[in-house]
Amino acid sequence: MAADPHDTAGSPVLEVSDLTVDFETEHGWTTVVDSVSFSIEAGETLGLVGESGSGKTITALSVMGLVDGRGARVQGSVKVEGREMIGASEPVLRTVRGDLVSMIFQEPRRSLNPAFTVGNQIAETVRRHQGLSRRDAWAKTVEMLDIVGIPDPARRARQYPHELSGGMCQRVMLGIALACEPALLIADEPTTALDATVQKRMLGLMQSLKQRFGLSILFISHDLGVVSEMADRVAVMYAGSIAEIAPRHELFAEPGHPYTAGLLATYADGGDGGGSGDTVRQPRRMLSIAGMVPAAHEWPTGCRFHPRCLHAQEGRCDAGELALVGFGPQRASRCVRRGELVLEGLQSP
């Protein structure tokens, strides 16, 4: 039997350590992702959540090796199955992308080339990474469209993106991402542009494909309700850093950071984020956290959430650098008052 090309002897599929990303702006070099660390094990889904401007997408693009260049600098370490992405040559990055890690985005029509059929776009990926003949690549294309649930895949493969619905285009993007059977899939807000019914089907499809291909997934969203359907663990990101990380059930039931509790308050209609797949959680009422995520050049000292936090204490929460501190198995929080606060989560129905 051939060796499994993704067998890494129990090491994480993705290991991010002290990832820091700076951009050159009108304010000088500005940090937008600050010392972010997390890992994803084989077969695990990590949800990365937070409001817009928290740094989620830049983190994902850094994992793909798509940020570094003129006007940007990336430091730290990003390893995909033990292969370092930061500082790697472009030929190495091209090999890793597709073969080991793939990414799908929020708006698939912007990622698909309108001048080529969707079949040609999948076939080109397969030929480039797997060296298949045109005939075999086309057969693999039709197979992938069938796997991601597109009806009449042989006919649809010859259509252009504008001839397909948004939901079908997202399935095509999923087919492209999985065509080379990567170990890690990065999904950046993949259901945001879809209506509730299509969103539910897409989440169910991703769950089934995770099992079929043995995928690990980095699932990025601003919506904790969607993450509750997908994630095994959740990392909550705010103003460029991780505010809290925990197993999904524990985070939903007993948040360890006021920012997490604020996000959960939007979904205060019961349920513990069990991920049954029966529904996509919808807000019961329009709740919000006062204020907004500060621009990167305006991050406050101390806890970056303290200007918006109902529990902030002067002289504690606004002073010094606050570390991400572990307080249980697989749990950590950046709140200096974590041991003093009882924060409301979502209880089981």
Location of structure tokens 């830049």: 58
144 falls within a domain: no
Six-digit token pair at 46? 């990590």
User: What phi and psi, each to the nearest 5 degrees, are found at residue 241?
Assistant: -140, 165
177 falls within a domain: no
> What is the dihedral angle through the alpha carbons of 52, 49, 198, 176, rounded to the nearest 10 degrees?
90
Q: Which domain holds residue 230?
A: 14-100+182-333
DSSP state, residue 296: G
Give 196's pLDDT tier (boundaries 50, 70, 90). Answer: confident
**Mean pLDDT over residues 302-319, rounded?**
94
143 falls within a domain: no
56 falls within a domain: yes
Q: Quick one: pLDDT at residue 270?
A: 42
For the domain that residue 308 is a member of, what is the CATH number? Answer: 3.40.50.300
CB atoms within 10 A of CB 323: 11
Q: Quick one: pLDDT at residue 197?
A: 87
220 falls within a domain: yes
**78 Rama sector, left if φ>0, alpha if ψ -120 to 50, beta otherwise:** beta
107 falls within a domain: no
From the CA atom positions of the chain, what is the Rg in Å? 21
DSSP state, residue 4: P
218 falls within a domain: yes
**70-82 confidence digits (pLDDT tens):** 799 999 999 999 9
3 falls within a domain: no
Q: How far is CA 329 from CA 35, 106, 321, in A?
A: 21, 33, 24
Location of structure tokens 């959680």: 281
Q: CA-CA distance, 162 to 109, in Å (whole number)?
A: 8
Q: Quick one: pLDDT at residue 249?
A: 94
Give 57's pLDDT tier (boundaries 50, 70, 90). Answer: very high
Q: Which range is least confidently modeled, 78-87, 114-123, 151-160, 265-274? A: 265-274
Q: Is 247 exposed, middle or buried (0-12, 13-18, 19+ CB in 10 A)?
A: middle
**14-40 confidence digits (pLDDT tens):** 999 999 999 999 999 999 999 999 999
Please give the tally of structural domains in the chain.
1
